[in-house]
Amino acid sequence: MKQPAALTWRIALMLTVPPLLWAGNALTGRLLAGSVTPLALNALRWLVALLILLPLGWAAVATPARRAEIFTRWKRLALLGGLGVGAYNALQYLALQTSTPINVTLIASSTPVWMMLVGIALYGEHPKPAQWLGAVLSAAGVLTVLVRGDPAALGSLRLVPGDLWMLFAALCWAFYSWQLARPAPSLSGAARPAWDWAEALLVQVLFGLVWAGGAAGLEALVVSTPSVQVPPVSGPVFWAAVVFLAIGPSVLAYRFWGMGVAAVGPSIAGFFSNLTPLFAALFSALLLGDPPRLFHGIAFACIAGGIWLSSRR
């Protein structure tokens, strides 16, 4: 079994890109919550992403032999597509119907703990004490943002249905990341198809769109219009937002996350997801004309310290 590499500045930068884009995803998802239903938004986002990936990864489906590589592995690929494309983002958009972007990204910061628990339960990967300490330190940074530097505010926190949806999404993402790091025999070693990153992501999206499209179809039978009291957007602004979701949080974020997980493993990579609520808070502050505060700096120091502590050899 390949041992994870040491965390370098290059890998750290690589793993910082996804939370930056995912923070933008949460804000954009909330912006569009009054314009399109959540499952329809997820399907639309990945449909546009598929159009972007087709010219890059066309070789994966270009010939009968290449398509046979897909069909013989359809169960594992359906699982990957279902977790990473069909479930995680759909659940996040559902969460944004009743929760705020900052709360959603904060709850997503439970991902490192889920990563470690899934690793223990299914892969026999037992975290070192430093990783647990790193998780505590990173969680302290997340709580600092949540209470805006005031510990007394903890008593006034309340959960809404969207928070529970996001907790489930974080669990799905933990399983997805471990599937990337410890792929099934049919997707690893000598049996691994000769796909580059674009081809592999294209195949995931193809399967994921089956899940996402089916869920959006069922949603359309029950819900015809968005139920969120957010001013709707349309025209060029709407489509610019969808294109951003397709390029940034989809293609680019998944590419960098896949490389980072392959390099250092899901347990360490998961700590970088704790940067997402910090970025979301900063974006929200900038959009509202409220400059970063001291507690943002303290939170960043805690999260960065947790990453450093958990990745020590």
Tell me the pLDDT tens digit for each residue of 214-236. 999 999 998 767 767 778 888 89
Which SS3 state, helix, strand or coil, does residue 288 take?
Answer: coil
State the Cα torsion 47-102-256-116 to the nearest 10°: -110
Measured between alpha carbons, how far is 129 from 2 in angstroms, rounded to an integer?
Answer: 22
Q: Write out the two tokens for 125.
A: 């990967």
Q: What is the pLDDT of residue 312?
A: 66
Q: What is the pLDDT of residue 195?
A: 93
Q: What is the pLDDT of residue 2?
A: 55
Measured between alpha carbons, how far is 211 from 107 in angstroms, rounded to an integer?
Answer: 24
Q: What is the pLDDT of residue 254?
A: 92
From first CA to last CA, the distance across the chain in angstroms is 18
Q: What is the pLDDT of residue 289?
A: 62
Closest CA to 138 of 175, 166, 106: 106
Measured between alpha carbons, how far is 270 from 257 in angstroms, rounded to an integer?
Answer: 10
Q: What is the pLDDT of residue 196?
A: 92
Q: What is the pLDDT of residue 236?
A: 93
Q: What is the pLDDT of residue 217?
A: 94
Report the predicted TM-score, pTM, of the whole model to 2 decimal places.
0.84
Q: What is the pLDDT of residue 107?
A: 75
Q: What is the pLDDT of residue 1?
A: 47
In which residue ranges of the chain is pLDDT below 50? Answer: 1
| Contact yes or no for 276/138 (Cβ under 8 A) | no
Q: What is the pLDDT of residue 3?
A: 60
